[in-house]
Structure formats: structure tokens, C-alpha cells
Amino acid sequence: MAYPAQNPQLSDKSKVVAGLLQIFLGGFGIGRFYTGHVGIGVAQLLTCGGLGIWALIDGIMFLVSDDRTDAQGRLLRS
């Protein structure tokens, strides 16, 4: 039986930086490129961040959620 890690590995990326990038530059997918999620970043770039709505919600979720990860699955730093 597998147990969750007591000290999960943390990313070198910050959730605050990712959230602010996503709120202000999310139409270009910058917050997602910052965290290494290139596919989602390209989708946001092509849709202008879901006309801004997707980017805004995504940015807020980066700021308030404690379980956001980078592309390698590591938790973002606070």
C-alpha cells in the first residue's frame, strides 16, 4: 500500500508569480508557459485566454489553490 509523501517535492516556480502572470498576461498563456504546461499555454494563446475569462479564473485558481503543480508534477511554492 502506497502512502503519500510526507514532504512532497516543491517546484522552483512560485504560485504567486504564476497567478499574477496568468491574470495580467493570461491571454497569451504566459502563466502556463511559466509553469511548463506548454500545451495549455498554446491553447490559451490561440483562444486569447478563453476571451480573458479562462485566463482570469485560471489566475485566481493559481493564487488560492494549494495543489497546483508544474509540468513535472511538483507543487508550486507559495
Angle at 12 between CA 63 and CA 31, to 5 degrees: 45
51: number of CA atoms within 13 Å, CB side? Answer: 0
Secondary structure (H, E, C), the chain: CCCCCCCCCEEEEEHHHHHHHHHHHHHHCHHHHHHCCHHHHHHHHHCHHHHCHHHHHHHHHHHHCCCCECCCCCEEEC
* pLDDT tens digits, 52-75: 899 999 999 999 999 999 999 999
Entry pTM? 0.84
1-58 residue pLDDT tens? 555 555 568 999 999 999 999 999 999 999 999 999 999 999 999 999 889 899 999 9
